[in-house]
Amino acid sequence: MIRDNSFPYLPRDFIQTEQGLIFAVVSYQPQDEKVGCFLRYIFEGNIWKKVDTEKANTVLKQYYPQYCYQSKQFEASFHAVAVPDIIKHYRPEERLHSVLQREPTDEIEQKLHKLIPILVRYGVDCNLLGLTGSMLINQQRKNSDIDLVVYGREAFLQTRQAVQKALAESIINKLSTALMEDNYNRRSGELSFDEFSWHENRKFNNAAIDGTKYNICMVC
């Protein structure tokens, strides 16, 4: 997967600042020469703590207002970090390659090592995959999801087809009721649970492997 060296930041990447803040990149293009993003983790008490939207906005407004941003292009408020303020750039494709090149260190990584060969078997190009979410910064827990990035529309379609075929052969599983409820509760849509489940199942964007949910998302 080749990036544009003039602006190598893509959605689902993470960036870290010297203040102990990790942001998830949300925009493809610079925002007033900054990286459009949203605060996701804060380093407190020698550990990384995940923060929700309300806490992220509160922390930045109070302590780091330079990272608050109002986008004229999108007519929306989010966060933005100037490139010189970035001390580390976490790239999903590099993280996935790193994890797959060594022995798993926990149960979630073991399941990742099992999942990727299944997708490859059904035609997915591993070079167009990446690992985002908590696993991107090695902060996964036993109940964490596996969040995969797929680079490019064609590769995304191939990956969805691979999930569909693997489900049909019972190599992986549909989301259990508990895992589907977790997805449903994270979103504040107007659909009923049954309607939501139907739409989720038909998209083949997520499934489960050995009881752990994994998601796939496209980055163009």
Q: What pTM was computed for the model?
A: 0.93
**Domain contains 8:** no
Residues 116 and 85 in one domain: no
Residues 147 and 161 in one domain: yes
Q: How confident is the model over 49-60, as a mean pLDDT?
A: 96
**Domain contains 41:** yes
**Domain contains 5:** no
**CA dihedral of 88, 89, 91, 97, whole degrees rounded to 10:** -30
Of 4-8, 193-197, 202-206, the least confident: 193-197
**Domain contains 2:** no
**Domain contains 114:** yes
C-alpha 112/C-alpha 104 separation (Å) is 9
**Domain contains 3:** no
Residues 205 and 108 in one domain: yes
Give the pLDDT band of residue 188 (cuts 50, 70, 90): low
Total domains in the fold of the chain: 2
Residues 97 and 206 in one domain: yes
The pair phi, psi for residue 136, each rounded to 5°, is -65, -35
C-alpha 112/C-alpha 149 separation (Å) is 13
206 three-class SS: strand
Structure tokens at 148: 């995969």
Residues 215 and 118 in one domain: yes
Which of 91, 83, 89 is CA-nearest to residue 35?
83
Domain boundary among 90, 124, 141: 90
Element (H, E) at 16: strand 14-17
pLDDT tens profile 96-115: 999 999 999 999 999 999 99
Residues 29 and 73 in one domain: yes
- Domain region containing 129: 92-219
Residues 125 and 208 in one domain: yes
